[in-house]
Each structure stands twice: as structure tokens, then as C-alpha cells.
Amino acid sequence: MSSWWHNALIYQIYPRSFNDSNGDGLGDLPGITAKLDHIADLGADAIWISPFFASPQKDFGYDVSDYCAIHPDYGTMADFDALLAGCHARGLKLMIDIVPSHCSDQHVWFEESRQSCDNPKADWFVWEDPKPDGSEPTNWLSFFGGHAWTWEPRRQQYYLHNFLKEQPNLNYANPEVVEAMLDVCRFWFDKGVDGFRLDAIHTMKADRNLIDNLPVEDFVPGDMPQDKQPFFRQRHDTGQLNQPAIQAFSARLRALADSYGDRFLMGEVHGEDYMQVSDTFTQPGRLHGTYNFGLLAWGGLTPAGLKEALEMAHQHFGASQRLTFALSNHDVPRSLSRMARANAVAPEHYADLQVMLTQMQTSLFSSNCLYQGEELGFVDSDSLTREDMQDPWGIEFYPAFMGRDTCRTPIAWDCEAAHGGFSTAKPWLPVDERHVKQAANAQVGLQGSVYERTKQHLAWRKQQPALLDGDFELLDCPDDMLVFKRASDSQTLICAFNFGAEAQDYAGQLILPYSAAFLPA
């Protein structure tokens, strides 16, 4: 019998922007509970919630100050228990976002560690002496700008942070750190959660390899944000990221998850060769799967780019369930905007394009993540001002790069209510007026809406053996199409997707612009 997560549709929730239950302008856990019927009715199998733990919110929850406490903005532990019960009552699994590589500089672990070189937590973080000239131990850069090392005068040492200086890296060479993080995971498994999305697990540090990063040879600026910051001018596989010692923790965590039964561990990983990285993290006895970045290109993908990404994924993994596909998340512009731009699609065709993108994604092998708002056809917000911005990454590189706020604006639930029904108060980010016109209550039950067409496809998908456990094969097709075959013992389907502005004849079937066809073979 296959695991629940095989071919599951996982609905990602960014809680701060999902639904506000108490009128403070911030989404919260009770707000999610109130909308579970929306998610279950859509046909999702699980939800994944981005961090809601105690945090100073320097990186909006990805800087955790207490892994086993709820930030008051999001509610209480009783609210979480009610949410978990509500999910399970509807047949939904619940995954949460664990941030193992780093915590907040306000976590009690780091507050103690930074005091001296000989306190009980002194070796819980990655501390290094300066070079003889006082400079940083290596040339490593932070993903969010600047150096990856910050000086602590009390210890006369530098500490490592691959992201903000307020997010110090934990030292996984210390067995006490490993046990502490396993205790965190055990706490949530005991609560009854069904799995973890493991944030940036490739950035963990479990060795003392201090080799300088090499430059990217013949660097050519690419899509944002690669051309906006120097981090991407370095290779990071010599010492900074994706070090082999990380896998000892992967194996320990997998053993813990397996002891609870059918639980899912999905690692967010990246690297110069992200397929090789994914393969490493999902070897037997390690993580079940990784979150695949192949379809998340910042500038979108044409059919040729999709074919290249899917061919690479299939060559490395077959239909092994070790990859989870996504077209959007809380860190990249929304899929509809990216893919419309890449394929020169006019706004009047956006609804058709969004439905087709979801049909394409959910017809691939393995599990899928659908980001909140994709089922409503939301585009990326383009009206944010400098005063609106909240994301530290975007603020650092404004105006050349707007960061991640554009995909994090609140969900519109009611086309007649203030702020789209997200909140009775001014939201933390403005609700996009285009989203208000496409609010959930304007689409649910409306034949032909993005929501209803998506719901119909997801219900149909669950009845197709070829899409649930079939082999995968890319097929030859015109340049503006993507066509692949899914074949199981009992069914074969030709899945054809027309990204062009003209109708296409494929295998005797006329396929309209920005639409899909599923042909028996």
C-alpha cells in the first residue's frame, strides 16, 4: 500500500496572508480552521503551513525563537490543536514548516551561546576565530545581502548566518544540537502532525570545512534575483552549503519519522546541481522527498524550458515519488504572472492559462504543492509601494528587486467586503484589487470559474490510474506545446498542453489555446 503523500496534492498556506479571524490585519490559525472546507472542497489531500512559531518576525517566522510555542499573532496551542483536529476530521493531512538550519538570535540557545566561549551552549552555533588580519573566516556571502559572518565582541569571534544576521546557523557537529532538534520534531509528531517541510535544509552546517567559495566561471546575470546580488556570483558547494555531514541528521530524522508510521519528510534543497543534491538527500534511509525547484524559474518557463526541467527530473528520479513539484510558493512571483510573461500571454487568457498550468503540474509524476490563491487565478501584485514593503530581502535590494511581498499579499475571500474579506482591519500587506474581483465567493459554485475548473480536474485526476502511478515519457510535439505520456498497467493517457495563441491539432484532436487535452492511447 502506498503512502498518503504519494501523488498527494499539498495546499501551501502562508498563514500571515491567508485569513484573519480577529481583526488585527494578520492571518492566524483560527482563520485557517475557518477555511478548511474551502481547501477540502477543492480536492486537496494535505495542507502545509509556513512557520507560525514564536519569532521576532525579522524573516516572518523563518527566524524561530521557540520551536514549540505559537507566536501570539497566530493564536495559541489550543488553536493549533483545533486546526489539526479540523484537518483530520475532513480527511486532510497537516504538514508544518520546520526550520532546522538556523534559529533567531533571540532564541535562548543563542542568547546564552553568544555570552562567552565556555558556557553550556558555547558550541551550539557555528563560531569561528577571525583571520590574523581580523577579517571573516571565509569569503562566504549571505543570501539576503552582505557577508555570512557577523562579529560578536563578547566572544571575539564571528558567527555564521546564511541569511539575516538575526538567523545564526546551528552547529550540527554538536550531538546536543542534533538531539535538541529531534526533540522539537518529536514534540510535533506527538501532537499528530503528518509531516514536515524542512526549510533550507541544505544550508545546515555540520563540519568545520572553511574553504573559500570559488567564483562562478563566466558569470552571466540571469533572471531576478540572480542578477541583483553578489551571492549568486559564487559557487557554494566547496564548504558553505550542501556538505555531506548534513546527511547524518537526515538519517536520524528519517528514523524518528518512521517510528511514528506514515509520516512525510520533504526537504527544501538547492545547489549548483539541484538534481544531484535532491538525489543525495533522498537516498535510502534519508528524507522521503525534496521540494523541486525545477519549475520555479523566476522568469517563468516556455514549453522548451519545461521539457528540459522535466526531462532532467525524470532522468534522475523516474517516477519514484522522491520529488515534489510546485509552480508557486511564498518565495517567488506567482506562477500565472511568471508563465504569462515567459509565453507572451495576454491578460484576457489568464484564467485559461492558470487552469492549464494546474492541470499540467498535477498530471506529473509524484506529489504536488499548490500555493494559496492559485486555485483562484491570482496574479502577482504589482502595485506595492516602498512604504508597503515588509520583506527584508526586497527592502535590501529595492528598487531593483521587489523581493517576495508581491506573492504574499493577503487572500481575497469576499468581493463585497473591505480588504477583500481577509480582515476587518488594514492588512499587513495591501490586498490586490484585481484579487478582490476574483475573490473566493465570486468563484465557488460558478461554473467555468478558475476554482470550479480546478476542482473538477482534481476530482477527475483522482480517478485516473495513469496519473496516480503511471510511468512518464515526454513526447515530440510542436514548439508551443508540452506533451507527455502517463502509462499504468490499466490505463495510458496522452497529456497535451497548448501554450500557444493558436489552436493546435495533435493526434487528431484540436486543442484550443491555453488548454489541455487528455487523450486515451
Tracing cell 497548448 back to the chain, one arrives at: 498
DSSP code at position 361: H
Residue 487's φ and ψ, nearest 5 degrees, are -135, 120
CA angle, corner 20, sides to 421 and 355, nearest 5? 60
Tracing cell 468563484 back to the chain, one arrives at: 443
Compute the distance between CA of residue 357 and CA of residue 346 in angstroms, rounded to an integer: 15
Q: Collapsing DSSP states into helix, strand and coil, what is residue 354? A: helix
Compute the distance between CA of residue 31 and CA of residue 18 in angstroms, rounded to an integer: 7
Compute the distance between CA of residue 450 and CA of residue 443 in angstroms, rounded to an integer: 7
Q: Do the Cβ atoms of 227 and 154 come closer than 8 Å?
A: no
268 catalytically annotated: yes
Compute the distance between CA of residue 440 and CA of residue 428 in angstroms, rounded to an integer: 20
The residue type of 328 is S
Q: Which of 199, 331, 405, 432 is catalytic?
A: 199
Spell out the residues 6+ positions from residue 151 whose beta carbon is closer than 8 angstroms to its own.
Answer: 130, 157, 158
How are beta strands 93-98 and 195-198 bridged, if at all?
parallel
Compute the distance between CA of residue 100 and CA of residue 65 in angstroms, rounded to an integer: 12
Return the axis-axis angle of helices 350-361 and 335-342, rounded to nearest 10°. Answer: 110
DSSP code at position 387: T
Q: Which of 59, 73, 97, 268 is catalytic?
A: 268
> How many Cβ atoms from other residues are within 10 Å of residue 499's Cβ?
27
Compute the distance between CA of residue 192 and CA of residue 85 in angstroms, rounded to an integer: 9
Cell of 9: 496534492
489 catalytically annotated: no
Q: Which residues are catalytic?
A: 199, 268
